[in-house]
Amino acid sequence: MQEIKRVAAIERENVDDCNIVRFYEAFIDQRHCYLVFEELEKTLYQLQMEHEFGKMAIRDIRTITFQMLTALVKLEDMGIVHTDLK
């Protein structure tokens, strides 16, 4: 599968300081393909819940934005375009 190859290629790069989630393995059964990644501390949804879905502090927004841009720059350096940002 093409996606597995791309994710594995990212994992071969040094991404320790790039805010890219670690890929561990992939496996396929009769119906689905599964990708196993590291578990993160919390999701953006959980962070929003902590703020009761109200306004987030500018420092939190800056931190998240910086982390996303750092990862996107690394992906761009690798010739990869992320097409599923939310």
Per-residue pLDDT of the chain (86 residues; tens, 9 = 90+): 777 888 888 878 777 788 888 889 999 899 998 999 999 888 888 988 988 999 988 998 999 999 999 999 988 988 888 877 76
Strands (E), the chain: 23-28, 33-37
Residues sharing a CB contact under 8 Å with residue 70, sequence separation 6 or more, in sequence order: 17, 18, 19
Torsion of the alpha carbons at 86, 65, 14 and 23, rounded to the nearest 10: -30
pLDDT of residue 34: 92
Which residue in 16, 17, 29, 84 is the catalytic one? 84
**Taking the complete model, does pTM exceed 0.85, yes or no?**
no
60 carries an active-site annotation: no
Write out the H or E segment, with its range, that includes residue 28. strand 23-28
Q: Are 71 and 18 in contact (CB under 8 A)?
A: yes
